[in-house]
Amino acid sequence: MRQRSLIAITAALSAGALTLTACGSRDSDDKGSDSGGTTVTIGIDAPLTGDLSALGLGIKNSVDLAAKTANKQKYVDGITFKVEALDDQAQPSSGQQNATKLVADKSVLGVVGPLNSSVAESMQKVFDDAKLVEVSPANTNPALTQGTDWATSKKRVYKSYFRTATTDAIQGPFAAQYLINDAKKKKVFVIDDKKTYGAGLAGTFTEEFKKLGGTVAGTEHINPDSKDFSAIATKVKTSGADVVYYGGEYPQAGPLSKQIKAAGAKIPVVGGDGIYSADFIKLAGATAAGDLATSVGAPVEQLPSAKEFVANYKTEGYKEAYEAYGGYSYDSAWAIIEAVKKVVDDNDGKLPDDARAKVTAAMQNVSFDGVTGKVSFDEFGDATNKQLTVYAVENGAWKPVKSGTYSG
Amino acid sequence: MNELPQQLVNGLLLGSMYGLVAIGYTMVYGIVQLINFAHGEIFMTGAFGALSVYLWVLPNGTTMWIALPLMLIGAILVAVLVAIGAERFAYRPLRGAPRLAPLITAIGLSLALQQAVWAWYPEATSARTFPQIEGGPFHIGDVTIQTGDIFLLAAAPISMAVLAYFVMKTRTGRGMQATAQDPDTAKLMGVNTDRIIVIAFALGAVFAAIGGVAYGLKYGQIDYRMGFILGLKAFTAAVLGGIGNIYGAMIGGVVLGIAETLATAYIADIPGMDKFGSQSWADVWAFVLLILVLLFRPQGLLGERVADRA
């Protein structure tokens, strides 16, 4: 009996362990060609599984496309790019593990990612210690580049961290300006998920909304693990708010929008780039019509510089859509490629020994016309391109409503 | 508008779902003194069973009035199969082993089931949309009820009544009571305890499956992790009501659901408490309530005092 029970426990535990390890081994993607010369790896860290996988896979594919394009054009002489994609499942702890793993691989000269600001927080120091450059296509929390006291005194903490996305210091106020000036909304109910990204966004939004003369009818924080928001939906309805602002991501925003409408409040839910995903509409259902989202940059489909990206993406036949951050991911990867090119050119066509540090230094002065417009970085590592767009749900898809540059 | 009636209904709906899942915890515990931590995953596989029926068995565009009963059957079939399989292959070999062993097995099984759905169910790596019932919502005074919630409002009391009849009036039900009181003596009296244990697992799975369908209808989506938090809450509800007592499970669920909802809605209005009122604190208040009940009534609301409690 005793032995049998031992066997059963071991069997159960090993079955569990096997299935767990199985998730880690899904993301290997080493189709990069090896036509002689030096191979440079571009690391990718993004949620490839889990709630936010739609956005993460869009990032992975877009970086892959950038590497393939550079190889095809022989953009950097003697260098072949390949990508190594790791899954962080939107968890800061996994992100840090992945960062350590990427640092250990000497061929990695730059990393694109992560998606979540909270994950970035856990990775920044690991990369900075190794002088390995990290370019995020999606992090929007201001503190990542400008320090925790960014509102009062800006201070760059990690020299190896860059991003092609604009920050919430701009995104939140941009939404507030649109709601007050264009949509004529006066009374907002603010909800956030307490995470770095969501709470930050809700904070900058609220400040600007009040400054412009709007009132806050109520504030709430939700638990991202929960799916039952009926109590909050009822509060939103009784508060008499004419719009809801949500700081957070689409897995919660979708059900939240649905339940607010179900409670009888026929008012739009507005969010940042974290809800700008086709999955938001899928989860929010038919009542999502009229919901709004801001996202960084202009719509990729409309920029002339992006036409080629969209066409190539289609040609490569990726299974998943490039989603909100595809263009930014491509540009992030291309920024790394440009930096590598500069370093190689300065060193007589070969990679120097301290390539990582040199690439990080070169990144600061990178400047090129990317998918999303002009790509270059300011003294904090933030994108100099501060364009944003408001999108609305219309006939089951996101439609651009207004593009503009935020002016404080 | 007075918000209280609506909030009470919100809490009742949430609580009914907890209650449906809690029945499974309580029945299994009552009979074999095992906390089946994989029960939340049985609830989850039930929901996926219903979705499978809708996607692959029924023709496209079947009206929900025909689809729903068939989906329920699918959900119950899948959940019962998983539960019986778990009992046969994970728990029965460990019967008689120290209590900790089946508990660890249950946690392993819970993870394994989650990962199995994640890996093998098509596109289950993120949330999958669940079909909805057309029509509604309904208004009764200030209270709004969604069409999907009507299923839950009806299913919970009907399930309870059927279960009560089964346990009190049928031969098998009396066999279950006997086994719960004293398995060895029951065996001597001719009760097939192995069969009774399987039936307890299967019955718990039936109610979990109904809960899984209710979850899908209520939230419009299901995912491979939906069973974890809900299972934990349902287990809390079972303990709150008095673990081992089937009425207690339902009452514990409803009390827990209403407590969470009211905490979200009103604690912020108490002066000085505005930080602790939001929905992210609902779980905290739920457990505060549990601790309070266990401090003053360790056997739970409806439980009986047992000498050798796990």
Same structural domain, A246 and A326: no
**Is residue A248 domain-shared with residue A363, that is, in the same domain?**
no
Rounded mean pLDDT of B146-171? 92
Chain B positions touching A193 (Cβ under 8 A) are: 280
CB A341 within 8 A of CB A42: no
CA distances from B224 to B69, B93, B110, B122 (A): 23, 27, 11, 11
Residue B237 sits at the vertex; the CA angle it makes with B233 and B239, to the nearest 5 degrees, is 115
Structural domain including B3 reads 1-132+139-294
Q: In what order do the strands lie in the sheet with A269-271?
A: A215-221, A187-192, A243-247, A269-271, A292-296, A387-394, A397-405
Three-class SS of B54-114 = HHHHCCCCCCHHHHHHHHHHHHHHHHHHHHHHHHHHHHHHHCCCCCHHHHHHHHHHHHHHH
Which carries the bigger pLDDT value, residue B221 or residue A63? A63
pLDDT, residue A22, reads 44
For B254-292, the pLDDT digits (tens) are: 999 999 999 988 888 888 887 787 888 888 888 899 899
Residue B300 lies in a domain: no
Say whether residue B223 is in contact with chain A using an 8 A CB cutoff: yes
Which positions 69-98 of B are in contact with A (Cβ < 8 Å)? Answer: 89-90, 93-94, 96-97
Shortest Cα distance, chain B CAs vs residue A66, angstroms: 26
B21 near B37, Cβ under 8 Å?
Answer: no
Considering only CB atoms, A255 lies closest to which of B144, B219, B261, namely B219
Q: Are residues A283 and A373 in the same domain?
A: no
Report the C-alpha dihedral over residues B263, B269, B272, B275, rounded to 10 degrees: 50
Alpha-carbon dihedral sign for residues B197, B215, B126, A249: negative
B10 interfacial to chain A (CB closer than 8 Å): yes
Q: Residue A354: give its domain's CATH number.
A: 3.40.50.2300
How many structural domains does chain B have? 1
Residue numbers of the domain that contains A327: 38-166+300-377
Torsion of CA B283, B45, A227, B72, to 10 degrees: -120
Do A276 and A210 lie in one domain? The reply is: yes
Domain containing B199 — which CATH number? 1.10.3470
**Residue B308 resides in a domain:** no
pLDDT value at residue A4: 53
A352 in the same domain as A306: yes
Number of independent structural domains in chain A: 2
The Cβ-side half-sphere exposure at B54, using a 13 Å CA radius, reads: 26
Backbone φ and ψ of B33, nearest 5°? 55, 40
Alpha-carbon distance of A287 to A272, in angstroms, equals 19
Same domain, A275 and A372: no
Residue A133 placed within a domain: yes
Residues linked to residue A108 through DSSP beta bridges, in sequence order: A41
**In the prediction, which pLDDT does A14 show?**
53
- Peptide linkage before B271 cis (omega within 30 of 0): no
Task: Write the pLDDT tens digit of every residue in A238-295.
Answer: 999 999 999 999 999 999 999 999 998 999 999 999 999 988 999 998 889 999 999 8
Q: Report chain A's terminal Cα–Cα distance, integer Å.
A: 73
What is the ipTM for the molecules in this complex? 0.83
| Partner-chain contact A220 B137, CB within 8 Å | no
Q: Please list the pLDDT of chain A residue by residue as tens digits (408 residues).
A: 445 555 555 555 555 554 444 444 444 444 444 445 789 999 999 999 888 888 999 999 999 999 999 999 999 988 999 999 999 999 999 999 999 999 999 999 999 999 999 999 999 999 999 999 999 999 988 999 998 888 888 899 999 999 998 888 889 999 999 999 999 999 999 999 988 889 999 999 999 999 999 999 999 999 988 889 999 999 999 999 999 999 999 999 999 999 999 998 999 999 999 999 988 999 998 889 999 999 887 787 777 888 889 999 999 999 999 988 999 999 999 999 999 999 999 998 889 989 999 999 999 999 999 988 889 999 999 998 888 899 999 999 999 999 888 776
| CB within 8 Å: A22 and B112 | no
B127 contact A CB<8A? yes
Reading the block at residue B61, the tokens are 């565009």
- A158 located within any domain: yes
Q: Per-residue pLDDT tens for B29-79?
A: 989 888 999 999 999 999 999 999 999 999 887 888 899 999 999 999 999
| β-strand partners of A404 | A388
Contact A191, A219 (CB under 8 A): yes
Cis preceding-peptide flag for B102 (omega within 30 of 0): no
Look up residue A203 and give its two tokens: 């904070």
For residue B174, the distance in angstroms to the closest alpha carbon of chain A comes to: 30
Q: Are residues A158 and A42 in the same domain?
A: yes
- In the three-class reduction of DSSP (H, G, I as helix; E, B as strand; rest coil), residue A83 is classed as strand
The number of residues making up chain B comes to: 310
The distance of B11 to chain A (nearest Cα, Å) reads 8
With an 8 Å Cβ cutoff, is B145 touching chain A?
A: no
**A146 plus A59 within the same structural domain:** yes
Query: Quick check: B1 and A229 CB within 8 A?
Result: no
Is A20 inside any structural domain? no
Calculate the average pLDDT of chain B: 90
How far, CA to CA in Å, does B211 sit from each of A13, B27, B136? 28, 16, 21
**B169 assigned to some structural domain:** yes
Q: Is residue B304 part of a domain?
A: no
In a domain, B66, yes or no: yes
* Residues A192, A252 within the same domain: yes
Please tell me the predicted confidence (pLDDT) of residue A5.
Answer: 55
Size of interface A-B (CB pairs under 8 A): 135
Query: Is residue A25 situated within a structural domain?
Result: no
- In eight-state DSSP terms, residue B303 is P
The answer to whether B113 faces chain A, any CB pair under 8 Å, is no
pLDDT (tens digit per residue) in B112-126: 999 999 999 998 877
**In whole angstroms, how large is the CA radius of gyration of chain A?**
22
Q: Taking CB atoms and an 8 Å limit, are B137 and A238 in contact across chains?
A: no
Give the 3-state secondary structure of residue B163: helix
Q: List, for residues A374-391, the tens digit of each pLDDT value.
A: 899 999 999 988 888 999
The pLDDT value recorded for residue B80 is 97
Cβ neighbours of residue B45 under 8 Å, at least 6 residues apart? B78, B79, B82, B113, B117, B212
Query: A371 exposed, middle or buried (CB, 10 Å; 0-12, 13-18, 19+)?
Result: buried
Residue A123 lies in a domain: yes
B301 in any annotated domain: no
Q: Is residue B65 part of a domain?
A: yes
Please list every residue in chain A whose beta carbon sits closer than 8 Å to the beta carbon of residue B281.
221
Average pLDDT, integer, range B155-176: 93
| Length of chain A as a residue count | 408
Q: Closest to A8 (Cβ–Cβ): which among B7, B94, B279? A: B94
**Residues with Cβ < 8 Å from A399, sequence gap 6 or more?**
A391, A392, A393
Residue appearing with tokens 């303990």: B239
Residue A248 phi, psi (nearest 5): 165, -160
Question: Residues of A388-406 as b/e, b for ≥16 C-beta within 10 angstroms?
Answer: bbbbbbeeeebeebebeeb
Q: Which of B104, B112, B144 sits opposite A19 (nearest CB)?
A: B112
Radius of gyration of chain B (CA): 19
Domain check: are A308 and A364 in the same one?
A: yes
Neighbours of A134 (CB within 10 A): 30
Task: Kindly write down the DSSP assignment for every residue of A181-214, as one continuous string.
Answer: IIS---EEEEEE-SSHHHHHHHHHHHHHHHHTT-
pLDDT reported for residue B95: 86
Q: Both A46 and A141 in a single domain?
A: yes
Beta bridge partners of residue A187, listed in sequence order: A215
Residue closest to A187 by CA, chosen among A147, A237, A233, A260 = A237
**Nearest residue of chain A to residue B264 (CA atoms):** A231
A134 φ/ψ angles, rounded to the nearest 5 degrees: -125, 125
Please report how the helices B193-219 and B4-32 are oriented relative to each other, as an axis angle in degrees rounded to 10: 160
A304 lies in the same domain as A278: no
Q: Minimal CA–CA distance to A151: which of A206, A218, A189, A114?
A: A206
Looking up tokens 């801001």 gives A294
